[in-house]
Amino acid sequence: MSLLDRYPDSVVVERLLTVLEFVPDGVYIVNSEGITLYVNAAYEKLSGFGRRDLVGRYMGDLVKEGYINRSASLLVLEKKETISIMQKLGNKKDVMVTGRPVFDKDGKIEMVVASVRDITHLNQLKNDLERVENISELNNHRFTFDFANEQKSQFLFNSPQMKAIVQKVEQVAPFPTSILITGPSGSGKEEIANLIHHLSNRHKRAFIKVNCAAIPESLLESELFGYEGGAFTGSKKGGKMGLLELADGGTFLLDEIGEMPLSIQVKLLRVIQDKTVQRIGSTKSKKIDIRFIFATNQNLEDKVEIGEFREDLFYRLAVVNIDIPPLRERLEDTDILIDHFFYHFKEQYRIEKELLPDTKQILQNYHWPGNIRELRNIIESIIVSIPEMIIKPEHLPRHIFHSAYKPSISLKNQIENYEKMIINAAIERNNSIRKAAKELDIHHTTLLKKLQRWKNKENNVVSKAKC
């Protein structure tokens, strides 16, 4: 029985139903026994069910047959009050249903009118938001998200080496191929990855960066691939979306890829090959479209040789290789970087400073073992820690200042000095030469001979100085 069958002589009801056909939200009306009287066109479109399949049907039967997972109307009839619930239509679409009772003059429920609104997209946005919030709560900023960033990555250089690298980036950025960026720590690998993303057609989509070395193996797999509810002890009831799913359509940077455990390398290889991701505890795979960028300061071929990195994965991720030289091999870049960071930190901290030409010359000639990261930190330090407005050479850190005036030390002497430092520290910790030798895994007599040789060398230096 439809609503018009129930009220055949009511012109008002007929006009009301005509109006309801134009309401954008779904409208569902049942009688006091839970039998469907009416659904509007919006509900048909929303649910994919025709009114012929619904009108005259008992709501409880529709639940059993999988049309809906539960009925707001039956709850209203039971509780005799307005009720709002989350409902799933045909196990596919999420909707918000609000059922309101309509009472007759005797105070009995005559019918229930329910409004139905599609919230599938809202739920997806909510899940994504919760995902990002969960990530931001993890310590050490292990993940970085860059959603729809319009700003182009700023990469400063003067050297011919970096000019060639940027030209290569401009060539490969438009293509979805995997890229391996190699180079020492602090040399600018992440900045090159930023440039690739922002020069690609994915620059308005998510750019997710993961440091493989910063996350325990037990967490890394679940964060990358996600999991279904109940997949393991401690998992969330509703499961969790993985970072790979969240990056769909965008770019994914796996930094320090050489530190990725072998067990996860196998799964990553499958993602790259099949373009699909499968959550932990799930039997279903989801298609994804991701541009992968990998970065490392290690020699992956060496790791392949010793069995710490899969050979098949290495060839998959190294389709295009970009190798960034250390800053000491491209000192032409130090001039523009010094100026950039100096101006940047003056503006940030609202401090007026000036570098003497001699001071800048020392900075330009320094070999920068920590690369761009060290240079940036040194510039920030002298901006905030030197009270004088004019920064002179003697204001620089001691090791940088001395590098301009002391002759270069041979590699042999540098290694010997480092060895001395390690051995002296071990002796101080153990307060015993024998225990120190044991900790360093060298023979006691070997350690004694080293100490004696160094002592004799120092005595010779002192004797020559006295003469």
Q: CATH code at 110?
A: 3.30.450.20
- pLDDT, tens digit, for every residue of 183-226? 999 999 999 999 999 999 998 888 999 999 888 888 899 889 98
| pLDDT score for 461 | 40
Q: What is the mean pLDDT of the chain?
A: 85
Asked if residues 370 and 333 have their Cβ atoms less than 8 Å apart, the reply is no
CATH code of the domain covering residue 255: 3.40.50.300
- Of residues 458 and 95, the one with the higher pLDDT is 95
In this structure, of 90-99, 144-153, 300-309, 438-447, the range with the lowest mean pLDDT score is: 144-153
336 and 387 co-located in one domain: yes
151 and 247 co-located in one domain: yes
Residue 12: band (very low, low, confident or very high) from pLDDT cuts 50, 70, 90: low
Angle of helix 371-385 relative to helix 332-349, nearest 10 degrees, comes to: 40
195 and 319 co-located in one domain: yes
| pLDDT score for 90 | 83
| pLDDT score for 3 | 58
Domain boundary residue, one of 285, 307, 323? 323
279 and 250 co-located in one domain: yes
10 and 63 co-located in one domain: yes
Residue 313: band (very low, low, confident or very high) from pLDDT cuts 50, 70, 90: very high
Domain boundary residue, one of 403, 430, 457? 403
| pLDDT score for 78 | 93
Asked if residues 1 and 20 have their Cβ atoms less than 8 Å apart, the reply is no
**Burial zone of 195 (CB within 10 Å; 0-12 exposed, 13-18 middle, 19+ buried):** buried
Is the pTM above the cut of 0.75?
A: no
Token reading at 413:
């002497």
| pLDDT score for 22 | 86
| pLDDT score for 377 | 95
CATH code of the domain covering residue 374: 1.10.8.60
Is residue 148 scored above 60 in pLDDT?
no
Q: How many CA atoms lie within 13 A of 249 on its CB side?
A: 8
Is residue 130 scored above 70 in pLDDT?
no
| pLDDT score for 228 | 86
Residue 346: band (very low, low, confident or very high) from pLDDT cuts 50, 70, 90: very high
| pLDDT score for 145 | 54
57 and 113 co-located in one domain: yes
In three-state form (DSSP H/G/I as H, E/B as E, the rest C), the secondary structure along the chain is: CCHHHHCCCCHHHHHHHHHHCCCCCEEEEEECCCEEEEECHHHHHHHCCCHHHHCCCEHHHHHHCCCECCCHHHHHHHHCCCEEEEEEECCCEEEEEEEEEEECCCCCEEEEEEEEEECHHHHHHHHHHHHHHHHHHCHHHCEEEECCCCCCCCCCCCCHHHHHHHHHHHHHCCCCCCEEEECCCCCCHHHHHHHHHHCCCCCCCCEEEEEHHHCCHHHHHHHHHEECCCCCCCCCCCCEECHHHHCCCCEEEEECHHHCCHHHHHHHHHHHHHCEECCECCCCCEECCCEEEEEECCCHHHHHHCCCCCHHHHHHHCCEEEECCCHHHCCHHHHHHHHHHHHHHHHHHCCCCEECHHHHHHHHHCCCCCHHHHHHHHHHHHHHHCCCCEECHHHCCHHHHHHCCCCCCCHHHHHHHHHHHHHHHHHHHHCCHHHHHHHHCCCHHHHHHHHHHHHHHHHHHHHHHHC
130 and 113 co-located in one domain: no
Is residue 231 scored above 60 in pLDDT?
yes
How many CB atoms are located within 10 Å of the residue 412 CB?
A: 8
139 and 263 co-located in one domain: yes
| pLDDT score for 239 | 80
| pLDDT score for 359 | 92
**Owner of token pair 């045909």:** 90
Query: Per the structure, how many domains does the chain have?
Result: 4
Is residue 417 scored above 80 in pLDDT?
no
| pLDDT score for 138 | 43
Nearest to 259 by CA among 208, 173, 185, 178: 185
Q: What percent of the chain has pLDDT over 70?
A: 84
35 and 145 co-located in one domain: no
Residue 152: band (very low, low, confident or very high) from pLDDT cuts 50, 70, 90: very low
366 and 297 co-located in one domain: no
Domain boundary residue, one of 368, 403, 438? 403
7 and 104 co-located in one domain: yes
Residue 283: band (very low, low, confident or very high) from pLDDT cuts 50, 70, 90: confident
359 and 415 co-located in one domain: no
Residue 91: band (very low, low, confident or very high) from pLDDT cuts 50, 70, 90: confident
- pLDDT, tens digit, for every residue of 158-168? 899 999 999 99
Residue 132: band (very low, low, confident or very high) from pLDDT cuts 50, 70, 90: low
Q: Domain range spanning residue 451?
A: 411-466
